[in-house]
Structure 1
Amino acid sequence: MSHTTADQHPLHNALNLAGRALLAVLFLPAGIGKLTGFAGTVGYISSAGLPLPAVGAVLALTVEILGSLALLAGWHTRWAALVLGLFTLAASFFFHPFWSVAPEQVFVTQLLFFKNIAVVGGLLVLAAQGAGGWSLDARRPR
């Protein structure tokens, strides 16, 4: 939704931009960290038993960096939010399996898992609602 409607709150665009920025804050540093610590990222992916860990690392850092920049700019926001949401959902099951860790690790692992699920929820709302008026999407011709 790129234009203000009668039922839209006056802070709609500002809150939308703030939400996009806060979501991007989660993904951009993570993507940059994967890029600068590539060998460690490959090792971590490998330790989860996933195939082609170097390819997975490139995919992860690409999704996180480009997706977060797209959210910040409000560029193809619905697609960026969907891709980041699917990525986060998949990562949750592979890297935060609280159901299969040692008892002393369950609390933190479960917390991380459900934090990710909540982030997916926010990304789905963003995918449904769009970037708002303060975005590149709002400037694109329909």
Structure 2
Amino acid sequence: MSSSGVTTTSLQDTLALVGRILIAYLFIPAGIGKLMGFAGTVGYITSVGLPLPQVGAAIAVIVELGLGIALLLGYKTRIVAIVMALFTIAAAVFFHKYWSAPDAMKMMQQINFNKNIAIAGGLLALAGFGPGRLSIDKR
């Protein structure tokens, strides 16, 4: 039995681990890419008209790389997943504006927007149900 009084099965623990790995697989390489191409990241953020693009790029690196690693390891999973979900929704709204995209880009932007919303849903499920026993949080 866990400290919360809820017992998880081996299958649930394994699924939570695989879920964390798959979500981290999206964020960690993206964070590395943003870190290694920081100037390009700043330029992209500037191109969509957001203020303080250097700060935004640093936040993106911290969330994608730093929190992505924390999620992978199952460290502070619930709060990390909530922060990452909010970041992912914000990214959808600011970077995948399909409603105002040119016709040639509308479908691609809508798909990316919808994927971000679905990823946020998966992150919120991790926040709600926890990382499973195969995590730092449960050690």
Which TM-score tier does this pair reach, normalised by the shorter chain?
Answer: over 0.9
CA distance in 2, matches of 1:73, 1:61: 17
Q: Which amino acid aligns with 2:120?
A: V
Q: Could you say which residue in structure 2 is the equivalent of 1:59?
A: 59
User: Could you say what the CA RMSD is over the residues aligned between the two structures, in angstroms?
Assistant: 1.4
Q: Relative contact order (alpha carbons < 8 A, sep ≥ 6): 1 or 2 greater?
A: 1
Identity %, equivalent residues: 55
CA distance in 1, matches of 2:126, 2:13: 12
Q: Which amino acid aligns with 1:48?
A: V
- 8 Å contact from structure 1 (residues 2, 131) kept in 2: no
**Cα drift, residue 10 of structure 1:** 3.5
Q: Which amino acid aligns with 2:44?
A: Y
1:117 matches 2:117: yes
CA distance in 2, matches of 1:127, 1:10: 19
Q: Could you say which residue in structure 2 is the equivalent of 1:102?
A: 102
Q: Could you say which residue in structure 2 is the equivalent of 1:38?
A: 38
Note closer, same or farther for the CA distance 1:36–1:106 as it changes in structure 2 (3 Å cut).
Answer: same
CA distance in 2, matches of 1:135, 1:31: 22
**Cα drift, residue 9 of structure 1:** 4.2
- 8 Å contact from structure 1 (residues 28, 64) kept in 2: yes
Residue aligned with 2:10, SS? coil
Q: Could you say which residue in structure 1 is the equivalent of 2:19?
A: 19
Could you list the structure 1 runs, at least 4 aligned residues long, displaced by more than 2 angstroms after superposition: 1-5
Q: Give unmatched runs, 5+ long, in structure 1.
A: none
TM-score with structure 1 setting the length: 0.92
CA distance in 2, matches of 1:2, 1:42: 43
Number of equivalenced pairs: 137
**Cα drift, residue 100 of structure 1:** 0.2
**Cα drift, residue 2 of structure 1:** 4.1
Residue aligned with 1:136, SS? coil
CA distance in 2, matches of 1:88, 1:72: 16
